[in-house]
Chain A
């Protein structure tokens, strides 16, 4: 059974940093592209970033480019999101999601974690 478990969320001040983690199990993690998607309170889904299976190819939404860094450790079956220069509008539940193949691009999100809440407030 595919499992994705996010951690690392919490309350952070504007301008601060936070690192999210996603522990994956139940599939061959190193064979699949992974993504982060967020959802602000009461709002819709917003794609944040994607990474290919090897970590070679990475994409970011315009809203986070230059502030967030996605990475992965295939030996640890883990996905990460380093979030810097956080703003109030980054407040959201952050979901880790698996892609259906090795690429960082195209396709859809076939499995999702339960999410971790990030609150940016002074």
Chain B
């Protein structure tokens, strides 16, 4: 089955830039999507199809995808960005949705 890898945690100071990677073999041939989940809340999509941003999501959130790695970038990090972030792809080989294990972002 298709496997996605993410770093377990990323720490960043307020105002700085956080980068969260998502790795997988030929990742995102059908696009990579990113979700933010705060404690006790449902996930919210912050980036879809590699780099598109839903309405209401700050421009500070951006995404990219190249080769075997997709990256979610959070610029000018704020305390409110502290959350778990998950990447997700569609695996056309198995016809399954696949989530990465998640990355906990801590704002110092």
Contacts and interface: CB of A to CB of B under 8 A. Distances in A.
B98 A109 contact: no
Given A108-B48, A109-B45, A110-B48, A45 B96 contact: no
Nearest to A57: B95
B42 A95 contact: yes
B86 A45 contact: yes
Interface residues of A, number: 21
Contact of A108 (B33, B41, B100, B102): B33
Interface in B30-80: 30-31, 33, 35, 37, 41-45, 48-49, 54
A107 interface: yes
A113 B42 CA distance: 7
Interface string A8-38: 0000000000000000000000000001000
B43 A45 contact: yes
A59 B99 contact: no
B98 A47 contact: yes
Contacts of A106: 30, 90, 92
B44 A112 contact: yes
Contacts, number: 58
Interface of B: 1, 30-31, 33, 35, 37, 41-45, 48-49, 54, 84, 86, 88, 90, 92, 95-102
A75 interface: no
Interface string A33-66: 0010000000011110010000000010110000
Contacts of A47: 96-99
B54 A110 contact: yes
Given A44-B102, A105-B90, A106-B30, A59 B96 contact: yes
